[in-house]
Structure 1
């Protein structure tokens, strides 16, 4: 059978298994096993366990459960609510300060927890009711939290970045650093939109009051004393210091990523024990259960995705597809745009973990041949995959928000997040035009890349 026929059958089988309703890990594993049985030596089936083990025997992947433990420890405590309240108190005087406070709280919590759904749940459970109580429209409030939660897979420590580092064979430290400035760019774009949207809603509320006397909570003024502001700091500063300490340990050369993840997890458990008195077995058990459940699910997806990629490579499907893409002789920017559009479409149906591990063997060789820096591209790909968390039909964060605020219609939530999708795509364009946004910090800290041509000129 020709390579084209095998590749076509492989793609069709993958789609059929995916749309059968089967869990993603089982779908990918089933496709891999079927094609091993049909097109690989019979002895290959005897080495499935060995292949999965060897593919996953990466010290970098060891950091994933530890980062998840760190995120679970913070997410299961009141850290998210305290962080949100502190931001609200300090930004209360800024127009749209409550919305901006939610954006910054999401960014800081995402940087500590590394999980988008956890960020949405922790910050949204307090932030959405408070914004609605003060007159923010339900869709606007939902959009801020859903979009803010996406920062969890861009700002370090990011599980998505860890997987990309493994798949692309790139430095995890460079990837973490490369995500910081783009993450801050998104924070500024989201905060700017929150301020503009607030001004619009405030103007409409004021017009309604002048026209008919209808009062809105948005017209009420709120202020906090200096004492109230400083009283909020003791509950927040330890977690900010935790974040800084983990980054210093990683980039100061004091610890490897896996050691840093373990350090962060232990410090997070110690902090919630001291600050929130979470140290008894019944208090810690939900944290460990959540960590075990999420880690097992994620590692199973990773294992089956790596087996899937191994079969593609053995049958030369990924190599042939990459050669075909190179052979089309597309201009480098058309090639990049085509790849990113493909990632957006895949984001309609698949989580970022599967997208990275399934597509990396196919898309990275042509991009590298075109002279793109794969660390720089990793940032772009991550932002594009983030949009998949807030656009239908999957939109995981949308359904997290729906669970937090079930009375907000799903259509209104979707309309609320769409402006943030546009802002994220704007960020992609800005990083393409000004690649130093992603490359300047890793180059400054770890030195310029010696090979690969850097980001596109």
Structure 2
């Protein structure tokens, strides 16, 4: 009964604050304070100050504003237009045409950032205005971007995979390689949806450009060279061990500045506008992160995630029943907590149950990332929805509605991976590392 009361109070608090127009970050912090004040003996004031300071001063978080700044530079240079010039000849004959740039762009950048928010924000800065200018339907542009942005968690390197690997005592390198095929599967499902949707709604897709011969397509692809070069530099510094993700983000900013200068699109006004744009977007994300971190601390003191995890473990479910229950559990929990917090708070309780059910821990890591991805686009605390709301000025209900097809496709991906677990386990099982 107490658990039901806690959940009711937290849900009503979040929706009540949002309905009153309170900023999302302050909504999360206010809900956390209310939860601690009502259901915990721990004083909320000093806990809030310490937690918010810790969340805002994290060195790992430094990569996020740097990647956002890189995206702002690309957005204000010719590089974003060149991305479309290079991809358009190859995608113009596929149903859905340039809507696929959201998926392809996010899949590529996911291999650079390891962050869903950074992937969504950076690619969105380039694709949203360009696709709007070309007349593509806004709902599909935003919906596909919300779903594709979650690839930042699944395609390695992934911060959540690192946290899970430490918590579950499994090889992080095997987790990374296990995410490759599921990431490709999910990107393929997204692109398949775009193809089917465009065939059903042919009037909403702008007309294709004039057909090109193969030689002309290859010539137009020269516009991709700067973008590919920048990605290769950032990826190369990470995978060769030359730089951490944060240092690679700094390399990406320097590379974007150099390329923009070489193209002649870099001047003082562009430089200033890129910094201010990245600062505004990061401040929005940082405030949400700080509020989410305090809500995580509050949940820990209340003990709600642990109690729910223990309850699921005591049900004695079959393997498939356990997976279904955990899917619902993690998606619901994702409405209140960020992905890393979910892993930290629940793995200690759930891992013995998962192991006893005979579930491969590498496979379970991929499953966990997928369901956390689903939580990224579900209200009230869908992080990608918040990022898109800040970028597009759209309300959360609208963003959740246009993202719903992507959510359903993630459920389909879960079912496919459950039916064919080798999609996640074959590579780590057969590669020497």
Question: Which TM-score applies when normalising by structure 1?
Answer: 0.71
Q: Which residue of 1 aligns with 2:184?
A: 184
Q: Which residue of 1 aligns with 2:260?
A: 272
Judging changes above 3 Å, is the alpha-carbon distance between structure 1 residues 160 and 31 closer, same or farther for their aligned structure 2 residues? farther
Q: Which residue of 2 aligns with 1:40?
A: 41
Q: Is residue 2:143 matched to residue 1:146?
A: yes
Q: Is residue 2:309 matched to residue 1:326?
A: no
Q: Which residue of 2 aligns with 1:384?
A: 374
Q: Which residue of 1 aligns with 2:220?
A: 232
Q: Is residue 2:249 matched to residue 1:248?
A: no
Q: Is residue 2:8 matched to residue 1:17?
A: no
Asked if the contact 2:86/2:220 (under 8 Å) is kept, the reply is: yes
Q: Aligned to 2:421, which of 419, 435, 438?
A: 435
Asked if the contact 2:72/2:274 (under 8 Å) is kept, the reply is: yes
Judging changes above 3 Å, is the alpha-carbon distance between structure 1 residues 322 and 160 closer, same or farther for their aligned structure 2 residues? farther
Q: Which moved more, 1:19-28 or 1:431-440?
A: 431-440
1:223-256 deviations in whole A, cap 9, x for unaligned? 1245643443343222212223322322222222
Judging changes above 3 Å, is the alpha-carbon distance between structure 1 residues 50 and 129 closer, same or farther for their aligned structure 2 residues? closer
Q: Which residue of 1 aligns with 2:351?
A: 368
Q: Which residue of 1 aligns with 2:247?
A: 259
Q: Distance in 2 between matches of 1:249 and 1:446?
A: 22
Q: Distance in 2 between matches of 1:199 and 1:32?
A: 46
Root mean square deviation of aligned Cα: 4.5
Judging changes above 3 Å, is the alpha-carbon distance between structure 1 residues 87 and 444 closer, same or farther for their aligned structure 2 residues? farther
Q: Distance in 1 between matches of 2:201 and 2:131?
A: 18
Q: Larger C-alpha radius of gyration, 1 or 2?
A: 1
Q: Distance in 2 between matches of 1:297 and 1:416?
A: 22
Q: Aligned to 1:313, which of 300, 323, 331?
A: 300
Q: Distance in 2 between matches of 1:65 and 1:238?
A: 22
Task: Say which SS state the counterpart of residue 115 (structure 1) adopts.
Answer: helix
Q: Which moved more, 1:93-102 or 1:257-266?
A: 93-102
Task: Say which SS state the counterpart of residue 223 (structure 1) adopts.
Answer: coil
Q: Distance in 2 between matches of 1:175 and 1:284?
A: 38
The number of residue pairs the alignment matches comes to: 412
- Offset at residue 326 of structure 1 (A): 1.6
Q: Distance in 2 between matches of 1:68 and 1:59?
A: 16
Judging changes above 3 Å, is the alpha-carbon distance between structure 1 residues 71 and 429 closer, same or farther for their aligned structure 2 residues? farther
Question: Which TM-score applies when normalising by structure 2?
Answer: 0.74
Asked if the contact 1:167/1:356 (under 8 Å) is kept, the reply is: no
Asked if the contact 2:80/2:126 (under 8 Å) is kept, the reply is: yes
Q: Which residue of 1 aligns with 2:287?
A: 300
Q: Which residue of 2 aligns with 1:61?
A: 61
Q: Which residue of 2 aligns with 1:288?
A: 275
Asked if the contact 1:111/1:157 (under 8 Å) is kept, the reply is: no
- Offset at residue 283 of structure 1 (A): 0.8
- Offset at residue 379 of structure 1 (A): 2.7
Judging changes above 3 Å, is the alpha-carbon distance between structure 1 residues 51 and 77 closer, same or farther for their aligned structure 2 residues? same
Q: Aligned to 2:120, which of 109, 116, 120?
A: 116
Asked if the contact 1:142/1:416 (under 8 Å) is kept, the reply is: yes
* 1:165-176 alignment, distance < 5 Å: 165-166=162-163, 169=166
Judging changes above 3 Å, is the alpha-carbon distance between structure 1 residues 153 and 287 closer, same or farther for their aligned structure 2 residues? farther
| Structure 2 unmatched ranges of 5 or more | none
- Offset at residue 388 of structure 1 (A): 3.4
Q: Distance in 1 between matches of 2:33 and 2:278?
A: 29
Q: Distance in 2 between matches of 1:417 and 1:55?
A: 28
